[in-house]
Amino acid sequence: MAIYPPLRLKLRTARALSLVVLVAMPLGYLGGAIWPDQDGGTSLPFAILRLVGLFAGVFLFVDIRNQRANAPDTMLDERERAERDSAYRASHYGIIGALFLAFLYTIPAKLLGWWFPTRDGAIDLLSGFGIASLALPGIILAWRERGEQD
Protein backbone atom coordinates (compact mmCIF):
# COMPACT_ATOMS: atom_id res chain seq x y z
CA MET A 1 0.00 0.00 0.00
CA ALA A 2 2.50 2.63 -1.13
CA ILE A 3 2.31 5.65 -3.34
CA TYR A 4 5.48 6.72 -5.10
CA PRO A 5 4.87 10.36 -5.99
CA PRO A 6 7.09 12.45 -8.29
CA LEU A 7 7.45 14.93 -5.44
CA ARG A 8 7.27 14.73 -1.66
CA LEU A 9 7.16 18.26 -0.28
CA LYS A 10 7.53 19.08 3.39
CA LEU A 11 4.23 19.97 4.98
CA ARG A 12 5.24 23.58 5.58
CA THR A 13 6.32 23.95 1.94
CA ALA A 14 3.09 22.45 0.65
CA ARG A 15 1.06 24.81 2.79
CA ALA A 16 3.09 27.82 1.68
CA LEU A 17 2.65 26.84 -1.98
CA SER A 18 -1.07 26.40 -1.42
CA LEU A 19 -1.30 29.96 -0.14
CA VAL A 20 0.62 31.13 -3.20
CA VAL A 21 -1.86 29.36 -5.47
CA LEU A 22 -4.91 30.66 -3.64
CA VAL A 23 -3.63 34.26 -3.69
CA ALA A 24 -1.61 34.54 -6.89
CA MET A 25 -4.05 32.75 -9.20
CA PRO A 26 -7.15 34.84 -8.42
CA LEU A 27 -5.13 38.07 -8.32
CA GLY A 28 -3.27 37.25 -11.51
CA TYR A 29 -6.18 36.01 -13.60
CA LEU A 30 -8.93 38.22 -12.26
CA GLY A 31 -6.74 41.30 -11.98
CA GLY A 32 -5.33 40.72 -15.44
CA ALA A 33 -8.84 40.42 -16.85
CA ILE A 34 -10.17 43.52 -15.08
CA TRP A 35 -7.12 45.72 -15.76
CA PRO A 36 -5.65 44.77 -19.13
CA ASP A 37 -2.71 46.68 -20.51
CA GLN A 38 -3.02 49.26 -23.26
CA ASP A 39 -3.04 46.63 -26.00
CA GLY A 40 -5.75 44.62 -24.27
CA GLY A 41 -3.32 41.95 -23.17
CA THR A 42 -2.20 40.98 -19.71
CA SER A 43 0.01 43.49 -17.94
CA LEU A 44 3.37 42.29 -16.65
CA PRO A 45 2.66 42.21 -12.89
CA PHE A 46 -0.45 40.10 -13.39
CA ALA A 47 1.36 37.86 -15.87
CA ILE A 48 4.07 37.25 -13.27
CA LEU A 49 1.45 36.47 -10.62
CA ARG A 50 -0.17 33.98 -13.00
CA LEU A 51 3.14 32.26 -13.69
CA VAL A 52 3.99 32.10 -10.01
CA GLY A 53 0.58 30.67 -9.20
CA LEU A 54 0.79 28.25 -12.11
CA PHE A 55 4.16 26.82 -11.08
CA ALA A 56 3.04 26.57 -7.46
CA GLY A 57 -0.07 24.75 -8.66
CA VAL A 58 1.99 22.34 -10.75
CA PHE A 59 4.27 21.52 -7.82
CA LEU A 60 1.23 20.92 -5.64
CA PHE A 61 -0.40 18.77 -8.29
CA VAL A 62 2.54 16.36 -8.44
CA ASP A 63 3.10 16.37 -4.68
CA ILE A 64 2.16 13.27 -2.71
CA ARG A 65 -0.89 14.91 -1.20
CA ASN A 66 -2.59 15.50 -4.53
CA GLN A 67 -1.38 12.13 -5.77
CA ARG A 68 -3.01 10.62 -2.70
CA ALA A 69 -6.19 12.49 -3.59
CA ASN A 70 -6.14 10.80 -7.00
CA ALA A 71 -4.94 7.37 -5.87
CA PRO A 72 -7.17 4.32 -6.29
CA ASP A 73 -8.88 2.96 -3.18
CA THR A 74 -6.58 -0.05 -2.93
CA MET A 75 -3.54 2.17 -2.33
CA LEU A 76 -5.05 4.04 0.62
CA ASP A 77 -5.98 2.94 4.12
CA GLU A 78 -9.48 3.65 5.42
CA ARG A 79 -8.57 6.99 7.02
CA GLU A 80 -6.81 8.20 3.86
CA ARG A 81 -9.86 7.20 1.80
CA ALA A 82 -12.10 9.12 4.18
CA GLU A 83 -9.78 12.14 4.01
CA ARG A 84 -9.63 11.96 0.23
CA ASP A 85 -13.41 11.78 -0.06
CA SER A 86 -13.76 14.66 2.38
CA ALA A 87 -11.22 16.75 0.44
CA TYR A 88 -13.08 16.13 -2.81
CA ARG A 89 -16.39 17.06 -1.21
CA ALA A 90 -14.89 20.29 0.16
CA SER A 91 -13.34 21.02 -3.26
CA HIS A 92 -16.68 20.40 -4.91
CA TYR A 93 -18.41 22.82 -2.54
CA GLY A 94 -15.69 25.41 -3.08
CA ILE A 95 -15.84 25.14 -6.87
CA ILE A 96 -19.63 25.17 -6.97
CA GLY A 97 -19.67 28.12 -4.57
CA ALA A 98 -17.23 30.11 -6.70
CA LEU A 99 -19.18 29.34 -9.88
CA PHE A 100 -22.43 30.30 -8.19
CA LEU A 101 -20.98 33.62 -7.07
CA ALA A 102 -19.71 34.28 -10.57
CA PHE A 103 -23.11 33.54 -12.09
CA LEU A 104 -24.76 35.63 -9.39
CA TYR A 105 -22.48 38.54 -10.34
CA THR A 106 -23.57 38.37 -13.98
CA ILE A 107 -27.19 39.26 -13.14
CA PRO A 108 -26.60 42.74 -11.72
CA ALA A 109 -23.59 43.17 -13.99
CA LYS A 110 -25.81 42.89 -17.07
CA LEU A 111 -28.51 45.09 -15.59
CA LEU A 112 -26.24 47.78 -14.21
CA GLY A 113 -23.50 47.73 -16.81
CA TRP A 114 -20.78 46.47 -14.48
CA TRP A 115 -17.48 45.09 -15.71
CA PHE A 116 -17.66 42.03 -17.93
CA PRO A 117 -14.63 40.13 -19.22
CA THR A 118 -13.77 40.10 -22.89
CA ARG A 119 -13.65 36.77 -24.67
CA ASP A 120 -9.94 36.44 -24.03
CA GLY A 121 -10.43 37.55 -20.45
CA ALA A 122 -13.13 34.93 -19.96
CA ILE A 123 -10.83 32.22 -21.31
CA ASP A 124 -8.09 33.41 -18.95
CA LEU A 125 -10.47 33.36 -16.00
CA LEU A 126 -11.61 29.85 -16.83
CA SER A 127 -8.00 28.73 -17.19
CA GLY A 128 -7.05 30.12 -13.81
CA PHE A 129 -10.15 28.61 -12.25
CA GLY A 130 -9.37 25.23 -13.77
CA ILE A 131 -5.76 25.21 -12.63
CA ALA A 132 -6.68 26.23 -9.09
CA SER A 133 -9.39 23.56 -9.01
CA LEU A 134 -6.88 20.86 -10.01
CA ALA A 135 -4.71 21.69 -7.02
CA LEU A 136 -7.59 22.21 -4.58
CA PRO A 137 -7.93 18.66 -3.19
CA GLY A 138 -4.20 18.53 -2.46
CA ILE A 139 -4.38 21.95 -0.83
CA ILE A 140 -7.16 20.80 1.46
CA LEU A 141 -5.25 17.63 2.35
CA ALA A 142 -2.11 19.67 3.10
CA TRP A 143 -3.97 21.86 5.57
CA ARG A 144 -5.66 18.92 7.28
CA GLU A 145 -2.47 16.90 7.61
CA ARG A 146 -0.72 16.62 10.97
CA GLY A 147 3.04 17.01 11.19
CA GLU A 148 5.38 14.02 11.61
CA GLN A 149 6.10 14.87 15.23
CA ASP A 150 2.46 14.34 16.11
Q: Between 1 and 30, how does the x/- string for binding to other proteins read (CB under 8 A)? A: x-----------------------------
For residue 8, which amino acid is it? Answer: R
Q: Between 86 and 125, how does the x/- string for binding to other proteins read (CB under 8 A)? A: x--xx-----------------------------------
Residue 148: is it exposed, middle or buried by C-beta count within 10 angstroms (0-12/13-18/19+)? exposed
**Is residue 73 close enough to count as binding other proteins by CB under 8 A?**
no
3-state DSSP assignment of residue 7: strand
> Cβ closer to other proteins: 55 or 143?
143
Give the footprint of other proteins on residues 127-146 (CB under 8 A). Answer: 144-146
> Cβ closer to other proteins: 113 or 147?
147
DSSP character string of 93-140: HHHHHHHHHHHHHHHHHHHHT-----HHHHHHHHHHHHHHHHHHHHHH
